Structure 1
Amino acid sequence: MKQDWYATLVRHMLLLVAGCLLVGMLTGHYGWCLAAGLAVYLAWTLKQLLRLHRWLREHQPDQPPPDGYGLWGEVFDSIYHMQRRDQRARGRLQAVIDRVQESTAALRDAVIMLDADGNLEWWNRAAETLLGLKTPQDSGQPVTNLIRHPRFKEYFAHEQYAEPLEIPSPVNDRLRVQFLITRYGNNEHLMLVRDVTRIHQLEQMRKDFVANVSHELRTPLTVITGYLETLLDNVENVNPRWTRALQQMEQQGVRMQTLLNDLLLLAKLEATDYPSDNLPVAVTPLLQSIVSDARALSGPRNQTISLDIENDVLLKGSEAELRSAFSNLVFNAVKYTPEQGTIRVRCWADAQGAHLRVQDSGIGIDAKHLPRLTERFYRVDSSRASNTGGTGLGLAIVKHVLLRHRATLEISSVPGRGSLFTCHFSAVQVVIR
């Protein structure tokens, strides 16, 4: 195309010079004729350039360029063809956009697009139903101004989107919605919102059932274990053949009571999102007490249990819940570490928050079991669990306590080399002295 324009321009210039020289030969004024011809050509060129400038400044999107002839006619024709190609490309893109919008509008899940600053750019109709967004007045508004739940503001601000967030709907407290945010493009956000009310109701029914059954079993179990203790206290009056049976019944009764207590504790932890007694807790004396109990639990096994506290940390939360979580981790290390093994408990704080690490030289856990360790009643080895007397709820309790205290549990283990459990508390949970 550039070569065609160049040839056309050269041809026009040669014709112009030839015409001027011919007129100059007839009149005898070669220079004046050549100057006049070039001036006329320059004026015509400027006129066409002004037409192009006026069209570029004032034309409507689909208005074609002005007509022309010669070299400028080819320029205008090229612009017209480019305009038509752009119109067809825009038409195809608009068809794709319309199709995407139609398909997302048909979704029952809300789809919201946010810019890098968290301002609303686009959403489908389901977002208006689930979240109460209004078109067009909410466009450009920060999403945290429209979804004011404290947990959502915290979730969005921390930018930790690996796990979804479940909260009541802003337009209806009886609806439960789940948020899942994904980063894309130039740090923009794609937010998916699902109605999980039915799932939440089923989960709540399960929790209520477990809590109620556990509570109802507590009284008869207390009566049974009480009578068993009375019989064992007067074992001389009992037929010797029944002694071993009564002892086993008492052991199983105590184990059942421990299981019911753990189930009731889990139900209590799941009832609310945050501890009611959210007060500063001194971690140092708490860990010292737990480690002292762990040494007593270890007894004659000659395990080495060390405590290393680098910073005197205060954590906001419930002391009873933190004691339950930390003791579960330390006591598990004692149970699953062989004789003369080593258990190290370390606590420190840094710019990211506070951290507690429990490391043991026990039997270790295969990597395939690690993702499911915090599930209720999950057993790595059922025979091992029965030998240690565990309920299978210890790590589930740890997980829920940490969630309520804005913390996470990191687990790593190598079979035969021991396990490492680390609790990471966010900086907002650490009290600055």
Structure 2
Amino acid sequence: MRSFVRYVLGVLVTVLILCAGITTLWGWAWGLGLLALFMGAVAARDAWKLQTLHHWLQEQQLSPGYQPGRTWEQVFGRLHSLERRIDENQARRQEAIERFQQVLTLLPSGIVILDQTHRILWCNPAAESHLQVHLEQDRGQSLPYLIRQTEFQNFLDRKPAPDHRCILHRRSQQDISLALQLIPYSAQERMLVTQDITQWERDEKVRRDFVANVSHELRTPLTVLGGFIETLQNSGPLPLATRERIFQTMETQTDRMRRLVEELLSLSRLESQTGVAPFTSIPLSALLSQMLQMASQLSQGQHTLDTQGHFDRRTLLGIEAELVSAFGNLVANAVRYTPPGGQITLSWREEGGEGVFSVQDTGIGISAEHIPRLTERFYRVDQARSRDTGGTGLGLSIVKQIALHHDLTLTIDSQPDKGSTFALRFPAHRLGLPENDPA
């Protein structure tokens, strides 16, 4: 602007000097004539440029409904139309940006817009939760300053690319694992996308542990069977007692593998079920009879079996085979982990409109730190003792899945050397009419 003013003043001074010189030499008429000629030339040039601007604005069709008039009015009208259109375009762009941000706020993935120095420009609620940041408080803050982990800083410092990914483990109020991806967003901005993969990592760990445990559980009996087969093939005639002991051991190991496979198939079937179990009436007294028979066979007279409650006054609503499996696993565990001479009590009680089936023993008991993990597949408090008793480590996992299928609650109460009580609580909608009720 200043250079333009200097230019205009310079031209005016030059013209005035020329006019003054001509006036001195030839008189006022020549001087005024030259000044008038100069002013006319300037006006003509400006009129030509104004007309050129007018034609350009007309070609842009910025105001298709304008009325013809004087050029300056038309120009200013078109400029006003241009300004209005710019305002409308800006309003539409702002509305589109707001709609886009509203969509991003609903995404389960975290979105953070960063500038070239890793400062936060915007983020959605998922990103706030994942990274423990707050947009209103932390806008303009450096994200590496808020998350002081070397691997995260190195990740942001790398050149962004579509395949630029990283796994970040956050140790805050709760452990969380995040999959990060840094995407070029614009010349001055980058987009950080975060996904919570905590549950996926847990599931993957469970899968790896499951495969490892199954392999380990099958390897031992297979090794035993292979060793005995090799012995029978390569040795001469063996004494009858030795052969019988070998065949008995082989039968035991084969039975162990068979039960493991059956329980794996049962657990897989239970975990794949959707919905809730149907409401088929099952006499509770019939379930008790099966449990007592099972306990007697497993105990071989080494334990005292007792019952408490009125099993003949109630029916349950569910799948009989699954409830038999759940009750049977609780009874089998009680027998396995109760030393000879101990007592096992099967009881039924009703309280608050709910029914509770429980199996109480006077066995070895369980420490409190192990109780939350007892329903995990292949989890054992004592590996050696579990194998000695013939357990597969899947029984309580099966009980848990059956409980979920029937809307039941499994509770465990135990103390070392004092015994354990495993109970299944039946909600009111899983309790049928008393067996003898004609209604």
TM (norm. structure 2) is 0.46
Q: Which has more radius of gyration? A: 2
TM (norm. structure 1) is 0.47
